[in-house]
Amino acid sequence: MAKAHNLGFPRLGTRRELKFALEDYWRQNTTADDLLTSAAALRAQNWEIQADLDLVPVGDFSLYDHVLDMSFTLGHLPERVRQLKGTELDHYFRVARGRSPADCGCSGVAAGEMTKWFDTNYHYIVPEVCGDTAFLLNSQRLVDQIAEARSAGVTPKPVIIGPVTYLWLCKARSGYDRLQLLQNLLPVYGQLLEQLADSGVDWVQVDEPILVTELDADWKLAFETAYHHLKGSRAKLLLTTYFGVLGENLQQACNLPVAGLHVDAVRGRQEVNALVDWLPSHKVLSLGVIDGRNIWKTDLNALLEWLAPIHERLGDRLWLAASCSLLHVPVDLELETELDPEIRSWLAFAVQKLDELRLLRSALNHGTDAVAEQLAANARAIASRRASTRVHNPTVKQQVQAITSDLGERRSPYPVRAERQAVALQLPRYPTTTIGSFPQTTDIRKARLAYRKQEISHELYVSTMKGEIERAVREQEKLGLDVLVHGEAERNDMVEYFGEQLEGYLFTRFGWVQSYGSRCVKPPILYGDVQRPSSMTLDWTVYARSLTDKPLKGMLTGPVTILNWSFVRDDQPRRDTALQLALAIRQEVLDLEAAGVNVIQIDEAALREGLPLRRSQWQDYLDWTVDAFRITANGVRDTTQIHTHMCYSEFNDIIRDIARMDADVITIETSRSAMELLDVFEEFHYPNEIGPGVYDIHTPNIPTKEQMVALMSKAAERIPAERLWVNPDCGLKTRRWEEVLPALENMVAAARELRGIA
Ligand code: GLN
Ligand code: ZN
């Protein structure tokens, strides 16, 4: 009999219950007991949803982050927290977010660094290691939850992060090789597996997703060392990989001494036959056949046809699951009662994905006749999506077909453009500007919400927003900024704003996905060919421009960022979707230009985070993403100045492609790194203009003129002053006017001082 199991379930609850429980606790409105009770109730609810699976994950639930949980299981806390008084829960939130409710009144401790979990938008707390890092087992959480799961009536399968991936996730202080810790770590893992076996579990899911990345010889050896050390364990280990193909690690993954292997059979489908051949005949093969990273229904009939011969070969050794934890999709489609019914019928969230698994299991074990009706319904949904005129727009497809390489070429090279722009714009040296948004005040949010709920008229909404735009323009004039912006008051979110106006996009009400801790995002769903029915930003921008004689910068979000922050189509390559988006935004660029807007910024905040996990695939990604940007941006006249903005500053390995984008000006985040990150621009002789951020907008602190002059002077050591701009790190929407005004006043004063020096 084929088994169905799950690797992990969303933690926050159908209605984000955990978010609210956490935030209430942090605000001291509730007690630790209240929080733990809510958490236990959520776990029970999740187990109920998964009840009839053959194995149900335990330990996938987390109060903040599963990597942090693993650090606690390994007794691995930063030294600065260990010394503080308090309960384990206090320590936990201190590492997670710099403070526990017990700490109010003091300034807290440095929170652990956060970074993205592989190529997802989930962020984990990076474990810190150094030469004297020690580990000490604390298996209580897992042992308790195994008992809890049993009393909820499910068969528990504890989930842990494997020792090699755990070390790989750690960050070592300069120069220290974290692999040296493996010898200390393995005995603790050995004890942990013993305790899990003592608590009666049969299988343990050991996550080793780094097996889908390119590993050097030391890391490959670490896998051998680790799993040979652990092979005596009484619990059976399911070595679990996800987010991609095993590639050159396939043979090694097959042969490590464990009882089973889970692979991502969505992204790695082409490898499955090789796996079936290579896997020793006593091992279980768990195939992640349901996409855990996207929200589309699976074509179950096609999948069953593909699975049947594999099932024949593997028999009981075949397990079925989603490709990865369901953490990365929203919980339950049932809540989306307002969604367009046709499109809704094409979707599956976490709960529905488990139904798909059950159906597959029944069909394989008892024959398709037993589930004929459900399979027919699935076939109808798949056919409806495939044929829908809402998905397929022949005009858009033709336009993409007709793209030629000259579409992405500016008319003249940068030096020629720069001269013409200098004449047109008449900017001083060290020109000042901002990244686009100004504070999103409660008034702005209220007005937007009221408009959305149809409580205020269109006219009132427009006049309120115009009032905000006017305020932003007046303040910028008073400050003496050189290139102004309209302030983005009308935008809830830089992707949603555009998605809502493009054909081919859909928005859910409860489609939340955890980003970090209690924070969630609600990625829009890009379901069809993308078209721009009418201009999206023109009216606001033209209005703002009418208020001032200074140059005013139009603000757009770029195609790659829109793509990377949405759930996108799985029926065509991402590249094709990006090109459709590029054509739509290109029209917006040209409309703005035609209306006289001669500075246009196209934000590509998320270009870097879309880089594939394997380096060997980077260039391909960079090729089509840069093409998409060029198509968007480069249809303009020489006198129109194109800006782009990126929310980071590590460009070392992609600088060539950044330069290929050929934006006249790029603004980046540099204030915290003291401009060292500009080295790569210097070494590469980056040819165009750069605005290295001098104002860290992530803190309420107000940078002084002197600090900003010092930062810009450092920048000028690396980049010729005539190509430097002065601007904040990012948009100002999360800040308050009281913070923004003095900071920008200092920034303008800094630019004036620099002009005196330069
Ligand atoms: N233009 C956007 C803003 O200013 C850019 C935001 C971002 O880069 N994340 O808010
Ligand atoms: Zn930014």
For residue 365, pLDDT over 60 is answered with: yes
Task: Find the 605 Cα to ligand 2 centroid distance in Å.
Answer: 6
Question: What's the pLDDT score for residue 758?
Answer: 55
Task: Find the 171 Cα to ligand 1 centroid distance in Å.
Answer: 29
Nearest-CA residue for atom 10 of ligand 1: 731
What gap in Å lies between CA 153 and CA 349, rounded to an integer? 24
Pocket around ligand 1: residues whose beta carbon is below 6 Å from it?
435-437, 488, 494, 555, 603, 605, 645, 647, 730-731, 733
Task: Find the 604 Cα to ligand 2 centroid distance in Å.
Answer: 8
Maximum Cα interatomic distance, the chain, rounded to a whole number of Å: 83
Question: What's the pLDDT score for residue 700?
Answer: 86
Give residue-wise pLDDT tens across range 172-185.
Answer: 977 899 999 999 99
25-28 contacts at long range (C-beta below 8 A, 24 or more positions apart): 25/101, 26/93, 26/97, 26/101, 27/101, 28/101, 28/104
Question: What's the pLDDT score for residue 618?
Answer: 97
CB burial string 576-608: b at 16+ within 10 A, e below: ebbbbbbbbbbbbbebbbeeebbbbbbbbbbbb
Higher pLDDT, 670 or 204: 204
Give the helix ranges, DSSP H, for 50-162.
66-73, 79-82, 88-97, 140-151
For residue 105, pLDDT over 70 is answered with: no
Band of the pLDDT at 104, cuts 50, 70, 90?
low
Question: What's the pLDDT score for residue 108?
Answer: 74
Q: What average pLDDT does the segment 271-277 reach?
A: 97
Q: Give the number of whichever ligand sits closest to the CA of residue 555.
A: 1
Question: What's the pLDDT score for residue 21?
Answer: 98
Band of the pLDDT at 307, cuts 50, 70, 90?
very high
Give residue-wise pLDDT tens across range 536-595.
Answer: 999 999 999 999 999 999 999 999 999 999 999 999 999 999 999 999 999 999 999 999
Q: Give the number of whichever ligand sits closest to the CA of residue 696.
A: 2
Residues, CB within 5 angstroms of ligand 2 (ion): 605, 647, 730
Q: Which atom of ligand 1 is nearest to the CA of 436?
A: 4
What CA–CA distances, in Å, run from 607 to 103, 462, 654, 671?
38, 32, 11, 20
DSSP label at residue 261: E
The proportion of the chain whose per-residue pLDDT surpasses 70, expressed as a percent, equals 99
The dihedral region occupied by 517, where left means phi > 0, alpha psi between -120 and 50, and beta the remainder, is left
Q: Which of 121, 433, 434, 437 to mutate to test the pocket of ligand 1 (most atoms within 8 A of CB)?
A: 437
For residue 414, pLDDT over 70 is answered with: yes
CB burial string 140-179: b at 16+ within 10 A, e below: ebbbebbebbbebebbbbbbbbbbbbbbbbbebeeeeebb
Q: Which of 493, 521, 601, 603 to mutate to test the pocket of ligand 1 (most atoms within 8 A of CB)?
A: 603
Give residue-wise pLDDT tens across range 579-627.
Answer: 999 999 999 999 999 999 999 999 999 999 999 999 999 999 999 999 9
Question: What's the pLDDT score for residue 458?
Answer: 97
Give residue-wise pLDDT tens across range 391-410.
Answer: 999 999 999 999 998 999 99
For residue 265, pLDDT over 60 is answered with: yes
Task: Find the 733 Cα to ligand 1 centroid distance in Å.
Answer: 8
Three-class SS state of 708? helix
Nearest-CA residue for atom 6 of ligand 1: 731
Residues 305/248, Cβ–Cβ less than 8 Å: no
Q: Which of 66, 71, 92 is nearest to 81 (CA)?
A: 92
Question: What's the pLDDT score for residue 167?
Answer: 98
For residue 45, pLDDT over 60 is answered with: yes
For residue 380, pLDDT over 80 is answered with: yes
Band of the pLDDT at 109, cuts 50, 70, 90?
confident
Note the pTM of the prediction, 2 decimals: 0.94
Band of the pLDDT at 209, cuts 50, 70, 90?
very high
Task: Find the 672 Cα to ligand 1 centroid distance in Å.
Answer: 18
698 catalytic per annotation:
yes
* Residue 98 identity (one-letter amino acid): G
User: HEC string of 554-578?
Assistant: EEEECHHHHHHCCECCCCCCHHHHH
Q: Which atom of ligand 1 is nearest to the CA of 491?
A: 10
Q: Which of 607, 670, 730 to mutate to test the pocket of ligand 1 (most atoms within 8 A of CB)?
A: 730
φ, ψ of residue 521 in degrees (nearest 5): -125, 160
